[in-house]
Chains A and B, each alone.
Chain A
Amino acid sequence: MLNRPEKPATMTAEPILRLEGITKTFPGVKALNDIALELYPGQVTALIGENGAGKSTLVKIMTGIYQPDAGAITLDGEAVHFPSAHAALDHGITAIHQETVLFDELSVAENIFLGHAPRTRVGFVDWKKLRAEAADILKNMGASIDPGARLKDLSIANKHLVAVARALSIEAQIVIMDEPTAALSHKEIEELFVLVDLLRQDGKAILFISHKFDEIFRIADRYTVFRDGEMVGSGLMAETDQKELVRMMVGRSVDQVFPKQEVTLGETVLEVKGLSHPTEFDDINFTLRRGEILGFYGLVGAGRSELMQALFGATRPSSGTVTLEGKPALAKSEADAIEKGIVYVPEERGRQGAVIGLPIFQNISLPSLKKTSRSGFLDLAREFALARKYAERLDLRAASLSQDVGTLSGGNQQKVVIAKWLATQPRVIILDEPTKGIDIGSKAAVHEFMSALAAEGLCVIMVSSELPEIMGMSDRVIVMREGRIAGEFNREALDAETLVRTAAGIEET
């Protein structure tokens, strides 16, 4: 099926897939607003935008996981809609994700043909043909992967290759690649690009999502830029440059005001020296002063969350020291970190932050139970009083503190998680993407609170991939790239384009 004559990519072809006026609203958040996107056969279209710009939502709509509230999808001139993931697949749309969604325990060949395996005349799976065809596809791709190998024994790069092979085997017309290079080494990225070229020559329409500008300029024919759920520009790569793309990505109206209070910074509270991890980050040095909000900016996969998890005792660094108020504070476990006064509000609120299924007051009191108990037994009255105190401080909107935290909106859940930590009276609070996926009202509340906390003398570390948040809230910003500190900027010296360039490793022009 790969033996079609090669056709050169032409820039004048008709789009094979056209999305118009796509709008998608989640409770409290408008994820996509009247966006348009066109994909052309034999061309790579890069989708560019900050985190939270709506790229993933769009991918989910294109693959039938979400249904748009409004808008039309036209495929090959015909109006289509994808009520399910299967429907999208049937229309020849396939996605390769950052973390491949394949089956670890199955063989490479089975993964390639799962769901559309060749059959014998009586309807059984034709294993011989399946293996032969899988081997054929892999060979045509120039991949040296044994079709009989189990997927879990493969490297991430090779898993991507299998995903590509699967796309070829189902004769997909449209291939979406959602940050496929995030976890790959330099050499593996080169190999992936060869494959993208192969797909392009095969006439597939490719949507390539990446944060890395060098990649986009290497591989893409066209671009579309999203910002805050809206399409802000599109065109041919040949007619633009990095500077213009960065400007489109970050340029925004300045109506967003951040409630950052001016704080006189106190003495140094936290000092991190030479902190390294075998695979995630290397030689991290920084200090944190009383009352300071320190922003960590970088691309996904730059090692920021991993660094924070090390500070919180969730992973063990290989070398380096952490000092808190003059005492060694390299946490041995999460409980140890909490004991020492370092707390962490994780990125994935629903999975790691809030204990959904437990009532609000139990969520807030969970790490403080020792404090509220009397001689080893829970004192519900004291527990409830503690929860009420911190819920009120955070202006939590809930009918009752006894209701399941899962019934709250994302913003209020985040408040519960923060309340939980404040109740432990920490020295340092680490917020990992604190406003990701929460509505604007709650966002402002979280920001306001963060600022108030700092003013009271708490040290705040904020990991964020949202530029306005980083620039609006931080006293100082550390930019990380590929596990290392790539730059440090004081509040006065903050500049959106410089931050993006530092994070992406683009030379100053």
Chain B
Amino acid sequence: MQALLKHRELILVGAIAVLVGLIALRFPGFIAPRNIVRVFDDTSILMMLALGQMVVILTRCIDLSIAANLALCGMIVAMINAAFPDIPIPALIVVGVACGAALGAVNGLLVWKLDIPSIVVTLGTMTIFRGSIFLLSSGEWVNAHQMSAAFKAFPRTEFLWIPVFSWIAIAVIALFFVLMTRTPLGRSFYAVGVNPTASVYTGIDVGRTRFFAFVVSGIVAGLAGYLWVSRYAVAYVDIAGGFELEVVAACVIGGISIAGGIGTVAGAVLGALFLGVVKNALPVIDVSPFAQMAISGAVIVIAVIFNARAERKTGRIILRKAEASA
């Protein structure tokens, strides 16, 4: 199965390459290094959130509040910057991450201690988080002119030809890789998703593991909240509205099984990149915004069908092997 997954990721790489190649045939500018960096930069937040969401989905849960969490943390950071422009950026990042972790912990505690299905919990907290932004800001926007120059400039600062914004995404991807493949916690995310009952009998606290998954997802959302408001230099109630669905879509395209237990960091990143390329390419080849939405949607459905088929095939292979080995 591991081999098939690897295979799947290669297919995704191939699909992205073919897609980029086709676009480049008509618009060579699309594969100019500058543009590739721009597409990656544009997709950074989606990649990070997809990784956070992946961890939650692995444990057989879902975090629908991830984008609302982002928006609330973003608003808090933006308001702090507007009120106290002298607070240094690292401190703001810590605030964003801490807020995100706290909000994620709320989700996690509700799922863990009250045993409420995560889809219900996060549907509720999603609305609560959005409502809280309104209460905090009284519905006002925090606009570019209220933010400090350093605040706005930081993510766009280039380092080795690549914006800091992208570097942060790269660092997050690396951290997730370590978390998922090199820590006991990462291992228990998989174990809990693959077989919660057996995990319990192995001494893994399933609820606690899910709690940590939500905290991880919250941390990413908090970080992304800071990045979003500083990069787009605006904060209001509806930023990243509906973005949670795009995040889930990226996960699904990346081969993360909605049934839990199956998925890799590479898969989530590639899934997000695939969506990012499609979204960036469609305006280039002059597709109307409405058709863009339909095409993005179609891509997601096709990916899900592909996924479902792949998963069914593994099941059959397992059986055949079992019969052969007996």
Contact = CB atoms under 8 A, between A and B. Distances in A.
Contacts of A404: 1-2, 318
Interface in B281-326: 318, 321-323, 325-326
Contacts of B203: 333-335, 337-338, 367
Enumerate the 4 nearest inter-chain pairs by beta-carbon distance, A residue then B residue, closest first. Answer: A27-B326, A357-B194, A335-B203, A369-B184
A216 to B, nearest CB: 34
Nearest to A413: B322
B72 interface: no
B289 to A, nearest CB: 41
Interface string B157-188: 00000000000000000000010011110110
Nearest to A377: B182
A358 B191 contact: yes
B261 interface: yes
B197 A352 contact: yes
Nearest to B198: A355
A468 B111 CA distance: 46
Contacts of A407: 318, 321-322, 325
A421 to B, nearest CB: 9
Interface string B185-224: 0110011001101111111110000000000000000000
B194 A408 contact: no
20 contacts: A333-B205, A335-B205, A337-B203, A346-B201, A352-B197, A353-B198, A355-B191, A355-B194, A355-B195, A356-B198, A357-B1, A358-B191, A366-B202, A369-B184, A376-B183, A377-B183, A378-B184, A407-B321, A407-B325, A409-B326
Interface in A156-170: none
Contacts of A333: 203, 205
A409 B230 CA distance: 56
A367 B262 CA distance: 20
Contacts of B323: 27
A114 interface: no
Given A378-B184, A404-B318, 11 more contacts: A314-B200, A352-B197, A357-B262, A358-B190, A369-B187, A376-B184, A397-B325, A404-B1, A406-B322, A409-B322, A409-B325
A354 B184 contact: no
B194 A356 contact: yes
B321 A352 contact: no
Contact of B325 (A314, A408, A420): A408
B195 A334 contact: no
B326 A366 contact: no
B322 A351 contact: no
B261 A378 contact: no
B187 A408 contact: no
Contacts of A370: 184
A27 B322 contact: yes
B224 to A, nearest CB: 25
B182 A355 contact: no
Contact of B198 (A28, A354, A409): A354
Main secondary structure of the interface of A (DSSP, over half): mixed
A90 to B, nearest CB: 28
Which of under 10, 10 to 19, 20 to 34, or 35 or more describes the interface residues of A?
35 or more
Contacts of B201: 312, 314, 334, 344, 346, 352-353
A351 B326 contact: no
Contacts of B191: 355, 358, 362, 366
A354 B201 CA distance: 9
A370 B203 CA distance: 12
Contacts of B2: 359, 402, 404
Given A356-B195, A358-B191, A334 B182 contact: no
Contacts of B197: 351-352
B226 to A, nearest CB: 27
A197 interface: no
A367 B202 contact: yes
Contacts of A439: 326
A110 to B, nearest CB: 24
A359 B322 CA distance: 15
A294 B199 CA distance: 26
A369 B190 CA distance: 14
B211 to A, nearest CB: 15
A464 B140 CA distance: 69
B318 A406 contact: yes
Interface string A361-405: 010001101100100111010000000000000000100001010
Contacts of A362: 187, 190-191
Nearest to B199: A355
A335 B206 CA distance: 11
A373 B184 contact: yes
A372 to B, nearest CB: 9
B188 to A, nearest CB: 8
B183 A378 contact: yes
A366 B262 contact: no
A406 B194 CA distance: 11
Contacts of B326: 27-28, 409, 439
A353 B201 CA distance: 7
Contacts of A397: 325
Given A28-B326, A404-B318, A406-B318, A355 B178 contact: no
A378 B182 contact: yes
Interface in B239-284: 261-262
